[in-house]
Structure 1
Amino acid sequence: MTPRAPAPPQATAPQPVKPAKAVAPRPVVRALPGDDDVAGEPCPKCGTPNPPGRRFCRRCAAPLAPAVAAAPLPWWRTVWPFRRRARSGSGRLPRLLAVLVVVLALCAGGFLLLPAGRHLIEDTRDKLGTAVAVTPSGVAASGQLPGHPAADSVDGVSNHYWGAPGPGASVTYTFGTPIRLVDLIVTNGASKSAEQYGRQARALEIDAQFREADGTAHLQRLTLSDKAGSQTFQVGVSDVASVRLVLRAPAGLTGGRHIALAEVEFFRRG
């Protein structure tokens, strides 16, 4: 049996092909013609001449007009708050405010060293602090009626009073230790009750003398209302060692009556 010859290969149909990615053409570098005939300012870095009006070199891009270095500051401009250089008004307001604050602080410090400044500080402390009642260690009067000694004006009982013989009579209260006298409360007349108030005469003005431990005296005129009850007067004197009250301008001083002062209360700063 004769062998068969191999069959010829069959032709295959063409298969689809994926499209290839397009490749951009390579750029062509063309040399620009140089303009060697330019007449202008040469570059300070490479020396290339540049046309007028250019700000940067056409070859190396260096600035054609470099900034001029600032002149050094004077010594006083190196001290705060003047050490910063003002640029178009920048920073002037904060420095002006800083200088103003320093000036005001110096003025305030100088003011507080004056007597008016010290008085303001003490007055503020009086208002912020607490007033404490204090009893005098001694009482002496220029005159008093029997049964109505001057000590009755500080006994804490408002229906006992100091009976003064007439206008100009005085009473002096002394303190064992000098105090900062803040307030003075006066209960005028024979009593704080309205029924007994008008039974005796009463002083409508009192000259108060506050004497310090070193002998300095402070005078104050106390004007009282002709009514029953206590009346408060602000004093604000430091180192008070004694207080002298002189009765003036009596009201209701008729025959058989005398001037009555029911109670005097002293308050120091706590």
Structure 2
Amino acid sequence: MPTRPPHRAVQPGGAEAVAPARRSVEPGEDPPRPGELICGQCRAGNLPVRRYCRRCGAALADAPVAVRPPWWRRLLARRVRRPHAAGERPPRRRRWRTPRFAVWLVVLLAAAAAGYAFRAEALGAVESVRDRVSKP
């Protein structure tokens, strides 16, 4: 039978402090908005004027600030439906809604068609500029 190592007494002050595990943002809670302070313990968003976390009470002295996502992420982000409170009715939804990519596709096709239609005028303008700028 294997022998066990002898137990040692715990020395006062010798144990290292263990940081509590970070909790993620709860499903019912909104993620931190741009400009809010993010708590290092519970990852909750706090107003910039706060000194202590609103959820866990940890100090926010060295808390990072939530940054605003880049424009392309905001453009392509899907809208999240928020749950309705008791007694609140959801807004009426339109039956047909134009997808964003279809609008951008129509704008791009219209610009390409306009460029194709006016290509002769554009080439004439380029030639007139070359005639005026070139040396005799």
What is the TM-score of this pair, normalised by structure 1? 0.13
Identify, as 1 or 2, the structure richer in helix: 2
Higher RCO, 1 vs 2 (CA within 8 Å, ≥6 residues apart): 1
User: 1 or 2, which has the higher strand percentage?
Assistant: 1
Greater C-alpha Rg: 1
TM-score (normalizing by structure 2)? 0.23
